[in-house]
């Protein structure tokens, strides 16, 4: 069973044939995150719904500004509350997080949910040893002694594969390599055994060998702790390696979702076709060209009406009558699988077979 198999009718942009069979660990419904700026309101996330089960990994893909990072900062309660309006519902293990106070959210962060950021160097303080920083998180949530906190830091460094952890625990971040710093940050994120881990492009700055080691580490840790993971990335190779389910975001909305196999092997939305056609594949013939998506992501201050992808979509004319520029396509899900697009299933099948599949090699 996938995390997407449990939709409810609570998402106004969603019609589902699947009935809930199991309580999701994280349930997001019709989430809207809007920022007030001098130039107007930025609709960073505009009606997002998804579920995540324990022990599963949800991959969120999309270009910069698609709303993926904002979604996760909002789940953690790390958004700027003065300038941000949050609507909808975020339920974590039965507890509603929207509207929850700072103290509640702070208690949940670390204990129940945790985040790995992209850049370990800016996330770790240069003034304190790695061990102290990991131990402090543990001590804050458990009230343990300094000695116990240090022992826990050593244990976590060992668990994430740092050699000689009982010595390296007293190193400062600059004494660690980039890969080791990332591991140290994972150790810090996992020190309180969080049940939800949000990883925001955690391997982007690393070389491919270290990246593979970090992904293996996350898989091992998930097996060990049963952690639910949200993995944010623009790298479809990482999605193929790690995710159970995939959510493709564009312009603050979900445009496609399904299992990893469904989305990567039989993509159903023109934006996903574009993403897949624009990345190199080791198994593709050298004769297959890479085709970038024309144009750039939409301004969320003044997003396009109708389908937000319409200014960049090569197939809007197939729908005809300017429908794509006027009507928002609903995300219609069947057993957790679907895409938000006005093309008919027959049109999509023809386009995919004749135009997209040859580009995927």
* Footprint of ligand SF4 (CB under 6 A): 270, 307, 309-310, 313, 315-316, 319, 324, 329, 341-343
- In the bound state with ligand SF4, the residue whose beta carbon lies nearer, of 25 and 315, is 315
Enter the DSSP assignment of 18.
P
Q: Where are the strands (E) in 38-131, listed by range?
A: 40-52, 57-61, 84-92, 95-96, 113-116
Inter-residue contact 342 to 270 (CB < 8 Å): no
Least Å from the CB of residue 233 to ligand SF4: 22
Closest to ligand SF4 by CB, 116 vs 324, is 324
Q: How far is the CB of 328 from ligand SF4 (least distance, A)?
A: 9
Min dist CB 353 to ligand SF4, Å, is 16
For ligand SF4, the closer CB: 212 or 360: 360
Residue 202 Cβ vs ligand SF4, minimum distance, rounded to whole Å? 30
- Nearest approach, Cβ of residue 339 and ligand SF4 (Å): 8
Residue 273 phi/psi, 5-degree rounding, is -60, -45
**β-strands 245-250, 253-259 pairing:** antiparallel
Element (H, E) at 197: strand 196-200
Query: Least distance from C-beta 12 to ligand SF4, angstroms?
Result: 17
Measured CA to CA, the distance from residue 220 to residue 150 in angstroms comes to: 23
Contacts of 268 (CB under 8 A, 6+ apart): 256, 258, 262, 338, 339, 341, 348, 352
Q: In 3D, which of 61, 69, 57 has the Cα closest to residue 237?
A: 61
**Of 26 and 313, which has the nearer Cβ to ligand SF4?**
313
**Residue with smaller CB distance to ligand SF4, 226 or 322:** 322
Q: Which helix (H) or strand (E) holds 184?
A: helix 178-190
Question: From CA 193, how far away is CA 203, in angstroms rounded?
Answer: 21
Q: Give the nearest distance from C-beta 43 to ligand SF4 in angstroms.
A: 17
Length of the chain: 361
Closer to ligand SF4 by Cβ: residue 169 or 319: 319
Query: Which residue, 50 or 273, has its beta carbon nearer to ligand SF4?
Result: 273
What are the Cα distances from residue 322, in Å, to 5, 45, 162, 250, 309?
33, 25, 57, 20, 13
Q: Are 331 and 13 in contact (CB under 8 A)?
A: yes
Closest distance of CB 272 from ligand SF4, Å: 10
Closest CA to 276 of 289, 285, 264: 264
Report the residue number, 173 or 270, with the smaller CB distance to ligand SF4: 270
């Amino acid at each position: 069973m996938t995390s997407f198999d449990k939709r409810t009718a609570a998402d106004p942009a969603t019609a589902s044939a699947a009935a809930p069979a199991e309580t999701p660990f994280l349930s997001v419904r019709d989430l809207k995150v809007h920022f007030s700026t001098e130039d107007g309101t930025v609709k960073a996330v505009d009606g997002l719904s998804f579920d995540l089960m324990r022990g599963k990994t949800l991959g969120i893909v999309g270009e910069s500004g698609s709303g993926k990072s904002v979604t996760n900062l909002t789940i953690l309660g790390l958004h700027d509350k003065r300038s941000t309006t949050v609507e909808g519902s975020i339920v974590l293990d039965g507890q509603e997080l929207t509207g929850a106070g700072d103290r509640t959210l702070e208690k949940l962060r670390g204990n129940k949910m945790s985040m790995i950021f992209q850049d370990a160097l800016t996330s770790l303080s240069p003034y304190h040893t790695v061990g102290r920083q990991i131990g402090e998180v543990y001590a804050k949530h458990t009230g343990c002694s300094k000695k116990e906190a240090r022992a826990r830091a050593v244990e976590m460094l060992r668990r994430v594969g740092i050699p000689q952890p009982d010595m390296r625990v007293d190193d400062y971040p600059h004494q660690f390599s980039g890969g080791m710093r990332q591991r140290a940050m994972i150790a810090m994120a996992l020190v309180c055994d969080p049940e939800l881990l949000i990883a925001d492009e955690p391997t982007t700055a690393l070389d491919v060998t270290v990246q593979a080691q970090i992904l293996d580490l996350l898989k091992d840790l998930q097996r060990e702790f049963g952690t639910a993971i949200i993995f944010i990335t623009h790298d479809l190779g990482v999605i193929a390696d790690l995710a159970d389910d995939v959510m493709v975001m564009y312009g603050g909305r979900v445009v496609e979702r399904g299992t990893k196999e469904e989305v990567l092997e039989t993509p159903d939305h023109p934006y996903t076709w574009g993403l897949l056609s624009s990345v190199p594949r080791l198994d593709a013939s050298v004769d297959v060209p890479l085709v970038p998506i024309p144009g750039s992501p939409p301004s969320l201050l003044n997003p396009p009406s109708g389908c937000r992808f319409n200014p960049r979509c090569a197939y809007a004319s197939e729908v005809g009558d300017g429908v794509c520029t006027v009507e928002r396509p609903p995300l219609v899900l069947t057993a957790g699988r679907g895409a938000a697009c006005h093309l008919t299933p027959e049109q999509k099948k023809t386009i995919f077979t004749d135009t997209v599949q040859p580009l995927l090699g």
